[in-house]
Amino acid sequence: MTALRALQGLEDGRSSVRLRAALAVGTAPDPRFVGRLIERCAVEPEFFVRDMLTWALTRHPVSVTLPGLLSEVRSERAQARSQALHTLSKIGDRRAWPAITRALLSDADDEVARSAWRAAVLLVPEGEESDLAAVLVTQLGRGERETQLSLSRALVALGDVIVPVLEAVAADPDRSVRAHALATERLLRDPDAGFEFAIEEAKRVVALGGSGHGG
């Protein structure tokens, strides 16, 4: 597939053609394509095509992709923010860290917030994990089970620094926050427990009036 055809293919109405086009661009990287790839990420409806677009972006030099992605995390379009954050997490360059703002970590759109959480725990500079954990715990109790699991996984990835901040919300008046905190701590102690089991157990503890700390 020629470069021109690949770029045209990204706009094709058939997802299979767009997928092949993204693969072609990633297979033969060209800095001139980066802007179009980033633009397409913001509007591409198919998950598998978006993933291929991200892969294609990771095949280009970071110096070329980073400026556009950092601009995109400030977009008004939720999918643009989410996909840019996802791509930044795949690139893994810590120069992107300052762009992971508190506003993104608490974004009203669950997909954006989840992408920000994943990117943050991968990009956080050494020594700043506790500060990040303190921001992430403000999102406990948020959303449906899938969103809650994403947050728990992000927190657990930070390690033992999360224990004090989880304990600090153990007396939160919101039962869902307390249960989510307990479930996250359980996952930290026993990663094989499974989130469903951990959250249901935590809910029972909270319902019985316990905090789960100190027996």
Is 123 within 8 Å of 98 (Cβ atoms)?
Answer: no
Q: What is the three-class DSSP state of 143?
A: coil
- The pTM for the full model equals 0.88
Q: What tokens does 196 get? A: 């469903």
Q: How much is the average pLDDT of 188-211?
A: 70
Q: Helices marked H in 15-128 — which ranges? A: 15-27, 34-43, 47-58, 62-72, 78-91, 102-105, 110-123
C-alpha 70: how far from its chain's center?
Answer: 15
Distance CA 169, CA 62 (A): 39
pLDDT at 170: 79
| Residue showing tokens 């972006």 | 57
Phi/psi at 93 (5° precision) = -90, 120
Would you call 40 exposed, middle or buried from its count of C-beta atoms within 10 A (0-12, 13-18, 19+)?
A: buried
Alpha-carbon distance of 4 to 189, in angstroms, equals 53
Least Cα distance to 187 among 140, 152, 135 occurs for 152
What pLDDT is stored for residue 171 in this prediction? 83
Q: According to the model, what pLDDT value does residue 163 have?
A: 95
* Residue at 105: amino acid letter: L
Q: Where are the domains positioned within the chain?
A: 127-215
SS3 state at 170: coil
Give tens-digit pLDDT for 71-117: 999 999 999 999 999 999 999 999 999 999 999 999 999 999 999 99
Q: What is the pLDDT of residue 7?
A: 82
Token output for 199 = 């959250």
